[in-house]
């Protein structure tokens, strides 16, 4: 590889970023009105129906939702790993530091995604290649993108493994993924994602497959790394506990849209969407023993047949006639929050 | 509480799996000590929760209790009679009384059988419970009990959602009117909003039919919600056993304390002030567990005695419930 190493590339990046640079408040990554559909045997599934969110430097945005809510599809679209077809992006924009990704040419897109946005997955065993050593896989990007020699790439891989807390990194760099435990594999994935110093990290259910004591270790590690590097972290999860522990802001997804967005403290204390409210009431608590859980009735909608009006209306305890007809947009509320419920203000008073 | 009726008694239960190598001539090179001397009792109408991380032996325990695996040593007594010596009609009668609900509602239901066949299959083996002409009605009754539309009897599992499938699994377990149901991670494959529905159903059924549950799960919040008593397992051993309140608010074993402090609490207002115990490393291999106390390699309280002497599961000084630690000390690890 004859590509020049890191230095100049990074410089062109920063100078190429349009708009007023140095603004701490400007989002690093922004998704706007993203629409994706899947063509399936049962018809067209509207998987994303206008999803918008953003993450700033040093901020943790939690994307909370159940299976089929579209939280992973959004992330995969951002990373450009959506299977097209069957998927089709029908609208919207993804911007990195203001630069549009979806309309950029292939080379630029690869550059932006590869260098600045990294992703880790739930199942580290299947995300890692079983026939290459962990060190080789971490070093691969350094060799291809940074033009490092094998020896340098390996040395850097050892540093990265050491940084994510793998004991005996020097010996472990030649191990294969199956020789690692679940927690160590996830650490290796994190090491790999950090190799190119990204400033946005998307973590898709990073601890769901792990035991609770290991989950705590990994969440601590992610939080430390994020703080040190001032990264923007997008944490995709279904676990309200994990969200409450680490998030700054939350976007709650349901049926391929964001139904509520806001600061973590406000959202837990005073949810402004009946779905969020119902979710919070339906989970068992570690710190108290309740008698009956307030279960949400019914099932999440099938994406080929999303109900008319508000998609949550068939399960909503606060449903009114108008909810069956009007699809409520995500509207801003005081305090930097947003809700897609027609009666968000009423929820505030109740 | 007046003296409860004891249904099940597990006494020093051991289950080792041989580790074999060699393609043609197999040699045993060691044993996975999946369950290594576990004792507890189950009373009528109560739920005993069993928590622990993967590899602690909780699912193997379920398999042995169901008599799906023979034990290496130890006894399980159902109404005072050893279940492993039962044969023939006595064994069949026992099987009626102890049923299981499995974790994965996608693989635990045969995709080529209708709901009527799945839920009604136990009646084929135990025709005395439902005479042939009456089975369809019985199945419909069961579906109604678990909150499914009785008209769905002719549907196949793939036509149902995960939560509904788990209800089918529960209906099947209820078919023979058992006394004990072993629930092995019954809600962990379900979405958050569906978990609550199934947990409520399990609670209702228990009250209605006076069932006793052994509720195995890794989610400590779920276990607390449903359990009267809780046992904590680590590497094949029961390390602490007590009432739900004792385990969650006065945990004495360092492992239980670490577990409790690691569980994320869905309340952002307490995240700053929580005490956190972070274990380092991973669970050791059950083929070659540490000497003495099995938790000592990850324990911050470990001393000389922990490596030489295995701590017994017993009531420790100053405590009220069973714990297996030389340095047991009750503490409340929960926020607030």
Among A residues 131-160, those touching chain B with beta carbons less than 8 Å apart: none
Supply the pLDDT for residue B2.
56
Q: Which of B262, B269, B332 to mutate to test the interface with A (most CBs of A within 10 A)?
A: B262
Among A residues 56-75, those touching chain B with beta carbons less than 8 Å apart: 66-67
Question: Chain B partners of A284 at a C-beta cutoff of 8 Å?
Answer: 195-196, 199, 221-222, 224-225
Residue B315 DSSP symbol = E
Radius of gyration of chain B (CA): 21
Q: What is the 3-state secondary structure of B244-286?
A: HHHHHHCECCHHHHHHHHHCCCCCHHHCCCCCCCCCCCCCCCC
Reported as a single tens digit per residue, the pLDDT across B177-190 is: 999 999 998 888 88
Query: Does A162 touch chain B if contact means CB atoms closer than 8 Å?
Result: no
Per-residue pLDDT, averaged over B52-58, amounts to 86
Reported as a single tens digit per residue, the pLDDT across B199-251 is: 988 998 999 999 999 999 988 999 999 999 999 999 999 999 999 999 999 99
Provide the token pair at A18. 């349009």
Supply the pLDDT for residue B269.
86
Rounded Cα distance, B233 and B222, in Å: 16
Chain B residue closest to A254 (CA)? B193
Supply the pLDDT for residue A24.
54
Among A residues 182-201, those touching chain B with beta carbons less than 8 Å apart: 183-184
| pLDDT tier, B336 (very low <50, low <70, confident <90, very high otherwise) | low
Per-residue pLDDT, averaged over B267-295, amounts to 85
Q: Which residue from B192, B196, B197 is facing A238, i.e. has the nearest CB? A: B192
Supply the pLDDT for residue A11.
35
Chain B residue closest to A244 (CA)? B268
Report how far apart, in Å, the C-alpha atoms of B138 and of each of A223, B111, B142, B173, B221 are. Answer: 54, 21, 6, 13, 34
Residue A23 has pLDDT above 70, yes or no: no
Rounded Cα distance, A84 and B326, in Å: 59
Reported as a single tens digit per residue, the pLDDT across A102-144 is: 888 888 888 888 889 999 888 877 888 889 998 999 999 889 8
Q: Which of A200, A239, A248, A203 is nearest to A221 (CA)?
A: A203
Chain A residue closest to B272 (CA)? A245
Question: Chain B partners of A217 at a C-beta cutoff of 8 Å?
Answer: 278-280
Reported as a single tens digit per residue, the pLDDT across B108-157 is: 899 999 999 999 999 988 988 888 888 888 899 899 888 888 888 899 99
Distance from CA of A184 to the nearest CA of B (A): 9
State which of A15-24, A25-34, B312-321 shows the largest mean pLDDT: A25-34
């Amino acid at each position: 590889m004859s590509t020049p190493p890191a230095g100049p590339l990074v410089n062109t990046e920063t100078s190429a970023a349009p708009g007023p640079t140095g603004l701490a408040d400007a989002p690093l990554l922004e998704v706007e009105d993203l629409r994706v559909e899947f063509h399936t045997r049962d018809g067209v599934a509207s998987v994303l129906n206008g999803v918008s969110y953003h993450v700033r430097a040093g901020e943790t945005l939690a994307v909370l939702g159940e299976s089929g809510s579209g939280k992973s599809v959004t992330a995969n679209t951002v990373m450009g790993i959506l299977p097209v077809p069957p998927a089709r992006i029908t609208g919207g924009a993804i911007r990195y530091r203001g630069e549009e990704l979806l309309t950029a040419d292939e080379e630029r897109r690869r550059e932006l995604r590869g260098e600045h946005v990294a992703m880790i997955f739930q199942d580290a065993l299947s995300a890692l290649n079983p026939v290459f050593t962990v060190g080789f896989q971490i070093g691969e990007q350094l060799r291809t993108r940074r033009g490092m020699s094998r020896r340098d790439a390996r040395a850097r891989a050892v540093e990265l493994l050491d940084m994510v807390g793998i004991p005996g990194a020097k010996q472990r760099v030649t191990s294969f993924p199956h020789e690692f435990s679940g927690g160590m594999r996830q650490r290796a994935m994190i090491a790999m994602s950090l190799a190119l110093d990204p400033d946005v990290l998307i973590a898709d259910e990073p601890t769901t497959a792990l035991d609770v004591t290991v989950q705590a270790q990994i969440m601590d590690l992610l939080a430390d790394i994020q703080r040190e590097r001032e990264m923007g972290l997008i944490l995709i999860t279904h676990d309200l506990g994990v969200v409450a522990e680490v998030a700054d802001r939350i976007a709650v997804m349901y049926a391929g849209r964001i139904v509520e967005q806001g600061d973590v403290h406000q959202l837990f204390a005073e949810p402004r969407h009946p779905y969020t409210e119902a979710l919070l009431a339906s989970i068992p608590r570690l710190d108290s023993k309740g008698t009956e859980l307030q279960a949400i009735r019914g099932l999440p909608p099938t994406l080929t047949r999303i109900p008319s009006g508000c998609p949550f209306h068939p399960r909503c305890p606060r449903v009114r006639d108008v909810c069956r007809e009007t699809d409520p947009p995500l509207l801003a509320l005081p305090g930097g929050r947003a809700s897609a419920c027609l009666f968000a203000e009423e929820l505030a008073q109740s | 509480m007046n003296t409860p009726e004891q249904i099940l008694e597990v006494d020093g239960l051991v289950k080792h799996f041989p580790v074999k190598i060699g393609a043609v001539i197999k040699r045993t090179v060691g044993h996975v000590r999946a369950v290594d001397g576990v004792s507890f009792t189950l009373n009528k109408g109560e739920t005993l929760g069993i928590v622990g991380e993967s590899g602690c032996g909780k699912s193997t325990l379920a398999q042995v209790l169901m008599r799906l695996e023979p034990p290496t040593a130890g006894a399980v007594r159902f109404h005072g009679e050893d279940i492993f010596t039962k044969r023939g009609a006595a064994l069949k009668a026992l099987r009626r009384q102890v049923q299981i609900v499995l974790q994965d509602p996608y693989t635990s239901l045969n995709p080529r059988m209708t709901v009527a066949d799945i839920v009604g299959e136990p009646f084929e083996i135990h025709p005395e419970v439902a005479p042939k002409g009456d089975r369809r009605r019985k199945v419909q009754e069961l579906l109604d009990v678990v909150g499914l539309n009785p008209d769905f009897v002719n549907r196949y599992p793939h036509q149902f959602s995960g939560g509904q499938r788990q209800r089918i699994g529960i209906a099947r377990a209820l078919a023979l009117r058992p006394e004990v149901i072993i629930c092995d991670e019954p809600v962990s494959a379900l979405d958050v909003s569906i978990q609550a529905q199934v947990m409520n159903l399990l609670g209702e059924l228990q009250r209605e039919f006076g069932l006793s549950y052994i509720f195995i799960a890794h989610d400590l919040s779920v276990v607390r919600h449903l359990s009267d008593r809780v046992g904590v397992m680590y590497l094949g051993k029961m390390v602490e056993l007590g009432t739900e309140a004792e385990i969650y608010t006065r945990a004495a074993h360092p492992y239980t304390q670490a577990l409790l402090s690691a569980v994320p609490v869905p309340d952002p207002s307490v995240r700053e002030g929580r005490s956190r115990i972070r274990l380092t490393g991973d669970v050791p291999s059950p083929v070659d567990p540490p000497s003495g106390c099995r938790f000592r390699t990850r324990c911050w309280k470990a001393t000389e005695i922990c490596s030489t002497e295995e701590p017994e599961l017993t009531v420790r000084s100053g405590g009220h419930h069973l714990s297996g630690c030389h340095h047991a000390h009750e503490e409340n690890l929960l926020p607030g």
